[in-house]
């Protein structure tokens, strides 16, 4: 890891503080970079115009007893990685060949989007127990590195 990895991972931690997720320990931030430039950012939060869990005063997943890593569709939040990719599409910014920095290792759904968007490298800080996502990334030939200071 180099000084740029540290800078961008520090920025991911900052972006994660923008979360609207009410679940404890679920502040996730992501940035997409290319040639040492930030292209987009993303954090986990409700879609535009939708009340988020903090506004509602409860986490729907907690209320329904949904375990972490399952039934991703039963959540108001869009994942940080998804929001960063969506922002790129909305702004007309190509992420082909880019690096995704993320506070947490991507889940299977995010992994599929990362593969199809052309992102070439992922750097994450915190592991996420999703073996299928790891298998897909390996098969796609995407470089995945765990950031450790």
For residues 115 and 124, give the distance between their C-alpha atoms in angstroms, rounded to a whole number: 16
Main-chain dihedrals φ then ψ at residue 101, nearest 5 degrees: -100, 135
Tokens, residue 130: 């999703």
**Catalytic pick from 73, 81, 145, 149?**
81
Examine the residue annotation and report whether 81 is marked as an active-site residue of this protein: yes
Q: Do 117 and 100 meet the contact criterion of CB atoms below 8 Å apart?
A: no
Q: What amino acid positions are annotated as catalytic residues?
A: 81
């Amino acid at each position: 890891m180099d000084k740029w990895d540290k800078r961008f991972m520090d920025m991911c931690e900052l972006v994660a503080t923008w979360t609207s997720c009410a679940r404890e320990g679920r502040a996730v931030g992501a940035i997409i970079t290319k040639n040492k430039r930030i292209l987009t950012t993303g954090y986990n939060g409700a879609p535009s115009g939708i009340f988020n869990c903090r506004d509602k005063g409860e986490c729907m997943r907690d209320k329904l007893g949904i375990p972490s890593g399952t039934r991703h569709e039963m959540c108001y939040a869009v994942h940080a990685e998804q929001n960063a990719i969506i922002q790129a599409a909305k702004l007309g910014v190509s992420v082909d060949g880019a690096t995704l920095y993320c506070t947490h290792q991507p889940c299977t759904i995010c992994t599929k989007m990362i593969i199809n968007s052309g992102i070439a490298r992922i750097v994450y800080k915190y592991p996420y127990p999703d073996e299928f996502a790891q298998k897909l990334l390996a098969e796609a030939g995407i470089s995945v590195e765990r950031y450790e200071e």
